[in-house]
Amino acid sequence: MAHSFLSGEFNDENISETSGLDLSLSAMACYPRPPYLPTFDSNAVSWILPFSDDTRDAKRMRRSSSLVESIRSNNSSLYSGGSSISTNILNSIPKLHFRDHIWTYTQRYLAAEAVEEAASEAMINADEGGNEEEGNADGMRLVQLLIACAEAVACRDKSYASALLSELRSNALVFGSSFQRVASCFVQGLTDRLSLVQPLGAVGFVPTMNIMDIASDKKEEALRLVYEICPHIRFGHFVANNAILEAFEGESFVHVVDLGMTLGLSHGHQWRRLIESLAERAGKAPSRLRITGVGLCVDRFRIIGDELKEYAKDMGINLEFSAVESNLENLRPEDIKINEGEVLVVNSILQLHCVVKESRGALNSVLQIVHELSPKVLVLVEQDSSHNGPFFLGRFMEALHYYSAIFDSLDAMLPKYDTRRAKMEQFYFAEEIKNIVSCEGPARVERHERVYQWRRRMSRAGFQAAPIKMMAQAKQWLVKNKVCDGYTVVEEKGCLVLGWKSKPIIAASCWKCLINSSQ
């Protein structure tokens, strides 16, 4: 079951013919009842629109008619008997400025892209053996409901969003097709966000959930299953360890600072593999290996450290382990003890995106501390997707693409009713989805970004890319580890990106400190 991402030439005329979507500026505003519901011809040519949260790209778009006129001319409802927008609501809508038109135009693009791709996914994943036309119609209906509900939640239309959520819950099944399952996770997120919606005119959300709390047994088990079954984390460990081994070549005293210790994953899998490689490689093994784990779960880290010390001893390597109890935002340079003459490497696996805030101050502070440590290399592994855009609808659409690909890959790896898959989806990936969809401000920690965005951030912080030259080894790793067909590795300007059928999932990159760079 493939996850399709189809492209074609884009223009307004083609879009209106192929998808039935009105993408004019006048039809893009945020209002209580979505003014569009896409209709898809079975022979339609699929298309994809460029995704971007950068308003500078959108500034080239032309301004069109007013919002009120567009609502009156395009008014429709998800249901054939839907009610029209009242004159009072229209009169209450404030006059839009040019930046508002730009924003709404961008959101319409994102909505159109999400509908087309998610619909393609839903149709592909229709239940086998059933009525194909009926399966396609159900998938299309589910896509439409999700997009309409996201718009209603964004517009704080609680009554309409609640009605849509009620229908979604009966169709988004935890043990259904891959798209039904991913839809169930987005329904959870939309429900949480709707419960926090304030009346129009009120400011922001006050979310109470934070998935960075100490994990429950279910979350720990889900993380373990993700590590064992999905290649995402293991791929990051593999690339990171190869970069670290290269940095440690010929060195006697080596030190790794591990930010987050891979979410507290038990047994220190990454460092067991590194210890093995250091012990087995040609030449003399290092006289001393130090590992410093940084995070809040120091008791768990110390247990992992004790296991690693025994494992390293059996391999003939002297390992020293220490734990620093601190989150990344409060980390200080003096917390990391550096011994004279040792080579330092900083390792970050799925961690730095949690400190990417709106102001960039938190991330800049962490990167400045890392820069002051003067590591030989900083290894960065992150989810490769745009889940940190400034607008809710944009994040929603991008997340729908990203997690649809992941759930599609799980479909290919595990049987339909496998409880392991349900645990991963509901206690790991669903937690990420809910955080992206329902949280704002400091509570929103799943702020994943694309490789090019990280490249800009790292450059501003005084780092330069150190290209990873191991494409052949990465492809061999996929074969050796019997990774499911459909996963691919590509090189993107010195970074290695693991993807599911052309959709990027995880990106690994390496960085060196620029000398005398401004912070």
% of the chain beyond a pLDDT of 70: 69
Rounded average pLDDT over 85-102? 44
Contacts of 75 (CB under 8 A, 6+ apart): 33, 35, 84, 85
Q: What are the pLDDT digits (tens) for 197-213? A: 865 555 444 444 444 44
What does the H/E/C string look like for 216-267?
CHHHHHHHHHHHHHCCHHHHHHHHHHHHHHHHCCCCCEEEEEEECHHHHCHH
pLDDT at position 373 is 95
- Has residue 97 got a pLDDT over 70? no
Check whether 269 has a pLDDT greater than 90: yes
* Dist. CA 76–CA 289, nearest whole Å: 66
Average pLDDT over the chain, rounded to an integer: 78
Judged by average pLDDT, the poorest of 67-76, 101-110, 425-434, 499-508 is 67-76
Give every CB contact of residue 300 below 8 A, 6+ residues apart in sequence.
Answer: 261, 264, 266
pLDDT value of residue 175: 87
Residue of higher predicted confidence among 103 and 489: 489
Beta pairing, strands 343-349 & 487-492: unpaired
With a cut of 60, say whether residue 504 has pLDDT above it: yes
**Cβ–Cβ < 8 Å for 415, 8:** no
Judge whether residue 11 has pLDDT over 70: no
Q: What is the pLDDT of residue 120?
A: 53
Three-state DSSP state, 512: strand
Q: Reduce the DSSP state of residue 397 to 3 states and report it.
A: helix
Is residue 211 within 8 A of residue 435, CB to CB? The reply is yes
d(CA 423, CA 198): 33
pLDDT of residue 111: 52
Span of 54-68, 293-307, 333-347, 500-514 with lowest mean pLDDT = 54-68
Do residues 466 and 480 make contact, with C-beta atoms less than 8 angstroms apart?
A: no
Q: What is the pLDDT of residue 406?
A: 98
Give pLDDT tens digits for 24-63. 323 333 333 333 333 333 333 232 333 333 333 333 333 3
pLDDT at 55: 36
Spatial CA neighbour of 291 closest among 356, 350, 225, 342: 342
Q: What is the pLDDT of residues 101-138, one digit of tens each?
A: 455 555 555 555 555 555 555 455 444 444 455 556 67
pLDDT at 106: 54
pLDDT at 417: 87
User: Residues 301, 265: contact at Cβ < 8 Å?
Assistant: no
Q: Is the pLDDT of residue 429 over 80?
A: yes
Q: How far apart are CA 291 and CA 510, in angstroms?
A: 19
- For the chain, how many residues are written? 519
Q: What residues contact residue 289 under an 8 Å CB cut-off, 6+ apart?
A: 254, 255, 256, 275, 278, 312, 317, 318, 319, 320
Judged against a pLDDT cut of 50, whether residue 154 lies above it is answered with yes
Asked if residues 74 and 27 have their Cβ atoms less than 8 Å apart, the reply is: yes
- pLDDT for 17 equals 31
pLDDT of residue 140: 82
Higher pLDDT, residue 314 or 23: 314
Residues 368-385 have a mean pLDDT of 97
- Give the burial string for 86-117 (b: 16+ CB within 10 Å, else e): eeeebeebeebeeeebbbbbbbbbbbbbbbbb
DSSP codes joined into one string, 4-58: --------HHHHHHHT----SGGG----SS-S------TTPPP--------HHHH
Of 320, 235, 311, 318, the C-alpha closest to 268 is 311
Q: For the chain, what is the radius of gyration of the CA atoms? A: 24
3-class SS letters over 89-147: HHHHCCCCCHHHHHHHHHHHHHHHHHHHHHHHHHHHCCCCCCCHHHHHHHHHHHHHHHH
Q: Kindly state the average pLDDT of the residues 480-490.
A: 96
DSSP state of 429: I
Q: CA 304, CA 473: separation in Å to the nearest integer?
A: 28
| Cα–Cα nearest to 233, from 345, 347, 348, 349 | 349
pLDDT over 70 at 214, yes or no = no
Question: What number is the average pLDDT over the span 360-386?
Answer: 94
Task: Please name the amino acid found at residue 209.
Answer: M
Task: Give, for 148, the enclosing helix (H) or strand (E).
Answer: helix 132-154
Please tell me the predicted confidence (pLDDT) of residue 59. 35
- The backbone torsions φ and ψ at residue 198, rounded to the nearest 5 degrees and listed phi first, read -105, 165
Q: How far apart are CA 88 and CA 490, in angstroms?
A: 54
Q: Is the pLDDT of residue 194 over 90?
A: yes
> Of 236, 235, 230, nearest to 407 (Cα)?
230
What is the reported pTM? 0.76
- Tell me the C-alpha to C-alpha distance, in Å, between residue 134 and each of 28, 101, 114, 289: 30, 38, 21, 60
Give dist(CA 147, CA 428) in Å, integer.
23
